[in-house]
Amino acid sequence: MRKIMLAAAAMLTISSAAFAQSTVIVTDPAPTGSVVLPGEVRTYVMEQQTPSVVYDGDIAVGATLPDTVEVHTVPNIDGYGYTVINERRVIVEPKTHRVIQVLE
Per-residue pLDDT of the chain (104 residues; tens, 9 = 90+): 555 554 555 555 554 444 444 333 333 444 444 567 889 999 999 999 999 999 998 899 999 999 999 999 999 999 999 999 999 999 999 999 999 999 98
- Classify residue 68 by its DSSP letter: T
Total domain count for the chain? 1
Is pTM, for the whole model, over 0.75?
Answer: no
Residue numbers of the domain that contains 85: 2-103
CA atoms in the 13 A half-sphere facing the CB of 86: 9
User: Which among 41, 49, 47, 102 is positioned nearest to 73, based on CA atoms?
Assistant: 41
Report, in angstroms and rounded to the nearest whole number, the Rg of the chain calculated over CA atoms: 21
Whole-angstrom Cα distance, residue 43 to residue 91? 12
